[in-house]
Structure 1
Amino acid sequence: MKLSDLLIYDYIIIQCHDNPDGDSISSGYALYEYFKNKDKNVRLVYGGRFRITKPNLIKMIEELNIPIEYVDELIVGDNEVLITVDCQYGAGNVKRFPAKNIAIIDHHQQEIYDVTMTEIKPYLGSCATVVWQMLLDEGFDVNQYKNVATALYYGLFTDTNSFVEIYHPLDKDLQDHVEYDINLIRKLKNANFTLRDIEIAGMALIRYSYIDDYRCAIFKAHPCDPNILGFISDLALQVDVIDTCVVYNETNVGVYFSVRSCIREVMASEMAAFLAEGIGSGGGNMDKAGGFIHEEKFDRQYPGMNKDGYLHNRIKAYFDSFDIIYHNNNNLDIERMVLYKKKNLTLGFVPVAEVFKEGTPLLVRSIKGDIETVSSPDTYFMIGITGEVYPISKEKFSKSYKVIDGPFQLKNVEYFPKVKNRKTGQTIDLRAYVKACISTKEIFVYAQPLAKNTKVFTKWDSSKYMSGKVNDYIAIRQDDIEDVYIIENSIFNATYQRIS
């Protein structure tokens, strides 16, 4: 769905979820300004049992002049459209007002399927990001409206636990590209907690359970803003016998939780995703992450189980679910593995010096994450079949690849790689510069499918692991038995062929 699809309506009502947070308010406000700019009659509303009382949200609304209204009743005419933002019409966290024409803009897992006009992106960290991308698609530059830019920035900030739980490149793009009011953001950051929040944190910290075998602690908090969960978990991780921790609370729509880790064998983002697998969503980075477990999905999949019991069992299952392989002590028996040859696929490459001056500090952003490097005539960027990017020296490129005619195209990828000049902030889409190449030499690996989830610490990065799931492949370079790595199942089948 595009925002321009909704311009057929002259009367537009934008509804945030009940007890709206910064993400919902900011997303609704950005839509409000877009439709006002198109000369539409627009209202921004919310319902439910509670009015907005959090000090940071009140300050946000006042400082940015956000025209949000609390409503007990709402009449939506047959020639009007109701847009629910950061929520889904008919779900448990948003008051249902009768309406004929309905649209949904959200970033949570889809739970409502009988509404045709939807834009739902559950892989994004905030609804603000969904709205920002939709505005970009319509040519609406939020940086021309500083209040809108500031609101969207703060919406992403609050819904990703102060940017801790950002993991999708589009979220990072929003964080980097909007021109926000830094002084107001500073004020809002320092108006986040109430005395009640501090009381909630204190009560949670004195009531905990501890899994000794894994040095993992679990804390339950009273209902509170998700940022409070992160605050509690940051404090808990400073305890000498705690390597990982989970802090959670229960609401009427589900469980919000925060995860922390201070050991390299556990990425907080992976643990969060495991806890919510099949019943919610989770993500973040190596040290800090968070997630949400959907109430209805939990009840269907685990009838009669309480949340505390589920989390205990799931945490134990997580730690029992994987093996760990270190590249310099891998104990892999290549005699039992199969020899494969890498297929000669068309890859993309970009000579960095053709895009940026030598010495320019760069941030390369792809679906697999960010890489920081410096522009050099000796550096090329290689682009793989899923949009992943990795640097390679010009010398190694010349020995390993040859340039071919024709364009390099990626099909059905969520995100095409971009490069940001870290000095100026300018961002370049690599589509305009990428060229095609194929390998000039054969690469052989020993490989076998994984029978158990596995973490591999590779020779090129001993601080964090590659994570493989059952039926992904563990591979060893034939010419270097310490070069051990994981290859996703779909990528392996597309890029390697069996020799023996």
Structure 2
Amino acid sequence: MNLEDINAVSNLLSKPQNIVIVPHKNPDGDAIGSTLALWHYLKTKGQKVHIVVPNDYPKFLKWMPGHEQILNFEKENSQAKALIEEATVIFTLDFNHLGRIGQMEAILNDSQATFIMIDHHQAPSDYAHYMYSDVSMSSTCEMIYNFIEFLGDDEKINPEMAICLYTGIMTDTGSFKYTSTTSRTHRVVAALIDKGAENTKAHNLVYDTNTPNRLHLLGCALKNMVILEEYNTAYITLSQDELETYGYQKGDTEGFVNYGLTLHGIFFAVIFIENKEEGIVKISFRSEGEFSVNEFARKHFNGGGHTNAAGGRSDVSLQETIEYFVSILKEYKAQLNP
């Protein structure tokens, strides 16, 4: 974020505003952590501020300070619309294209508010008046820490903000193991712990709240894993019937795709999840090294994300999606055999 934009945003926030903070559809730990931390921060500045999420999010994130104040656009539609229509400033966090917010896209497109984007994904669109976009960042939560620091307010970071930011960084870095984790990330995390983030509590509440159904679903997913040694690739499938058999709840498949990368010699891992209600197959891609799943997802599966972590979707059946995926791997054989 350049100095001119920092000064402009600082001036904007020095006056009373009606602010709405919006994360992407199906918000994850980084999205919820960053929105809640920013909400707490803006409240310390005396701003009128609300969070509107496009849809529900996993139960294992519904403990962070302030989570009960979050409005679900699907369930609290009238109230959410009214807040967005009244907004003078809208922060969009952890996404960079309005297509990522589902049915909220139309109302945000019509808004006359000043938009501020804070995000670390590739290929941002240009809807925002002020943009803090940096693909080298580990997480949007690390960027929110920087944003507060840019405005000279890092002393305002309290334990509530700190644990929200810590949780988002923790989840988006795979507990600090991804290559996006830098020495700066660790310095930020250390500062957050010093400011009151209870790191063990965050880890336990996110990762140690499994249900028997989720573990049985994980067993099903691992049983379905297919290994394509020729391409150093592993993929998992989960059908709608399998999800229903194990009482699937939102967030239950979080992290399943990463198991493929724990196999020796596997550099590309994918999970295909059938969603008959939406008529799509939801896809998550992970990779190690230089193979860009962002480019792969954008080219073949209407998706995108980061170099080593991306998402996508398919509008054909689960079986047809898998067949198409396997058929195009030959184009990438050289890249997948480093």
What TM-score do you get using the length of structure 1 for normalisation?
0.50
Who is 2:94 aligned against? Answer: 86
**1:163-189 CA distance string (max 9 Å, x none):** 232425354443343212134224224
Residues 177 and 84 (structure 1), Cα distance of their counterparts in 2 relative to 1, 3 Å cut: same
Q: Are the equivalent residues in 2 in contact too, given 1:91–1:111 (CA < 8 A)? A: no
Q: 1:221 to 1:90 in 2, by over 3 A?
A: same
Looking at secondary structure, tell me which structure has more helix per residue: 2
1:201 counterpart residue number: 218
Residues 21-420 of structure 1 aligned to structure 2 (within 5 Å): 21-48=28-55, 51-52=56-57, 54-61=58-65, 67-70=69-72, 71-73=76-78, 74-75=81-82, 76-77=84-85, 80-88=88-96, 90-94=98-102, 95-96=104-105, 97=107, 98-101=110-113, 102-141=115-154, 144-167=157-180, 169=182, 170-179=184-193, 180-214=197-231, 216-221=233-238, 227-230=254-257, 232-233=259-260, 237=263, 243-244=266-267, 246-249=269-272, 255-259=283-287, 268-273=288-293, 276=296, 279=299, 280-283=304-307, 290-294=308-312, 307-309=321-323, 311-313=325-327, 315-321=329-335
Aligned 8 A contact 1:161 1:226 in 2: no
Distance 2:321 2:203 in 1: 36
The number of residues matched between the two structures is: 294
| Structure 1 contact 249–256 (Cα < 8 Å) conserved | yes
- Output the CA distance in 2 between the equivalents of 1:216 and 1:65: 38
| Over 6 Å off, 4+ runs | 251-254
Cα distance in structure 2, aligned partners of 1:275 and 1:115: 24
Show CA shifts across 1:349-375 (max 9, x none): xxxxxxxxxxxxxxxxxxxxxxxxxxx
Percentage identity across paired residues of the two chains: 21
Q: Is the 8 A contact 1:166 1:172 kept in 2?
A: no
Counterpart residue number, 1:360 = none
Write the distance in 2 (CA, Å) between the matches of 1:204 and 1:90. 32
User: How many Å separate the matches in 2 of 1:294 and 1:243?
Assistant: 20
CA contact (8 A) 2:234 2:268 kept: yes
Whose Rg is larger? Answer: 1
Q: Report the AA paired with residue 37 of structure 2.
A: A
C-alpha change, 1:142 and 1:203, in structure 2 (3 Å) is: farther
- Report the secondary structure of 1:13's partner residue: strand
> How many Å separate the matches in 1 of 2:252 and 2:132?
25
- How far did 1:292 drift? 0.6
Given that 1:275 and 1:311 are in contact with CA atoms closer than 8 Å, whether structure 2 keeps it comes out as no
User: 1:218–1:247: 8 Å Cα contact kept in structure 2?
Assistant: yes
Taking the aligned partners of 2:321 and 2:133, their CA distance within structure 1 comes to: 27
Q: Distance in 1 between matches of 2:297 and 2:54?
A: 31
CA distance in 2, matches of 1:138, 1:178: 17
CA distance in 2, matches of 1:84, 1:154: 19
- Distance of 1:163 and 1:243 partners within structure 2: 20
Q: How many angstroms apart in 2 are the aligned matches of 1:270 and 1:84?
A: 29
Q: In 2 relative to 1, CA 234–277 (structure 1 residues): closer, same or farther, beyond 3 Å?
A: closer
Find the aligned partners of 1:116 and 1:132 in 2 and give their Cα distance.
20
Q: 1:40 to 1:244 in 2, by over 3 A?
A: closer
In structure 2, give the amino acid aligned to 1:205.
L
Distance 1:230 1:139 in 2: 39
CA distance in 2, matches of 1:306, 1:5: 53
Q: Secondary structure at the match of 1:113?
A: coil
Contact in 2 for aligned 1:12/1:80 (Cα 8 Å): yes
Q: CA deviation at 1:112?
A: 3.3
Distance change >3 Å, CA 213–CA 42, structure 1 → 2: closer
In 1, Cα distance between equivalents of 2:266 and 2:312:
27
Q: Please, what is the CA RMSD of the aligned residues?
A: 3.6
Match of 2:10 among 4, 11, 19: 4
3-state SS of 2:77 partner: coil
Query: How far, CA to CA, are the matches of 2:137 and 2:324 in structure 1?
Result: 26
Task: Assess if the C-alpha contact under 8 Å between 2:18 and 2:88 holds in 1.
Answer: yes
Query: Does the CA-based 8 Å contact 2:24-2:100 persist in structure 1?
Result: no
- Separation in 2 of the partners of 1:58 and 1:84? 20
Is the CA contact 1:31–1:131 (under 8 Å) kept in the aligned structure 2? yes
Q: Distance in 2 between matches of 1:277 and 1:129?
A: 25
Counterpart code for 1:256: S
Structure 1 CA distance for aligned equivalents of residues 321 and 186 of structure 2: 32
- Deviation at residue 230 of structure 1 after TM alignment: 4.6
Distance 1:257 1:139, change over 3 A: same
Higher fraction of strand? 1
Q: Relative CO higher for 1 or 2, CA cutoff 8 Å, sep ≥ 6?
A: 2
Maintained 8 Å contact 1:255/1:293: yes
- Following the alignment from structure 1 to structure 2, what is the Cα–Cα distance between the partners of residues 127 and 308? 32
- Secondary structure in 1 matching 2:117: strand
SS in 2 for 1:174: helix
- CA-CA distance at 1:225 after TM superposition: 5.9
Q: Is the 8 A contact 2:21 2:91 kept in 1?
A: yes
1:294/1:218 CA distance change after superposition, 3 Å: closer
Q: Secondary structure at the match of 1:23?
A: helix
In structure 2, do the counterparts of structure 1 residues 253 and 83 end up closer, same or farther at CA, with 3 Å as the change threshold? farther
- For residue 253 of structure 1, report the CA deviation from its aligned partner: 10
Contact 1:87 1:106 in 2 (8 A): yes
State the match for 2:245 in structure 1: none
Aligned residue type for 1:255: I
- Paired AA for residue 233 in structure 1: G
Secondary structure at the counterpart of residue 59 of structure 1: coil
